[in-house]
Amino acid sequence: MHIEINDKTILKDIQKTFSDYYPFLLLKFYKKPHNKYDDSKIENEIDIEKSVGEITKANLSSIIEITPLERVSHFENTFFEKTGISIQVLKLENEIWKQTSGLDNLTLKDLNIMGRNSTDEFIMEDVDDDFETEEEV
């Protein structure tokens, strides 16, 4: 997959394109980069309605290639190097988006699977609870 980015690209569109490929992952954008294994600070989060040009003030035109076997830390670093915008990958965990700071060495594919499995387990817990209730009746 690749994402084309220029000054007019809206962050929300980048976020959607990424999540179309990785439905259990989410990109958030930040004013300042974070170190590997660190969380990004919420006060540095950038509104996803902004365009890349509003944030970088540069004449930007770039294509970012994203592969399933790319490590999270590499993807986050590459995105920053090509756009000047810091990102954090979040993973869906029991219907809550959580920063993946401690999982930066995992691949995007593995992280997406973890998010899916977390959601599946959550659904299965609900089904199991319903089943037990029916048996007791």
What is the pLDDT, as a whole number, of residue 122?
Answer: 47
Give pLDDT tens digits along the chain (137 positions).
999 999 999 999 999 999 999 999 999 999 877 666 666 667 778 999 999 999 987 788 889 999 999 999 999 999 999 998 999 999 998 888 988 878 888 999 999 999 998 876 545 444 445 545 444 44
Structural domain span for residue 52: 2-136
Q: Provide φ and ψ at 96, rounded to 5°.
A: -125, 135
| Domains contained in the chain, number | 1
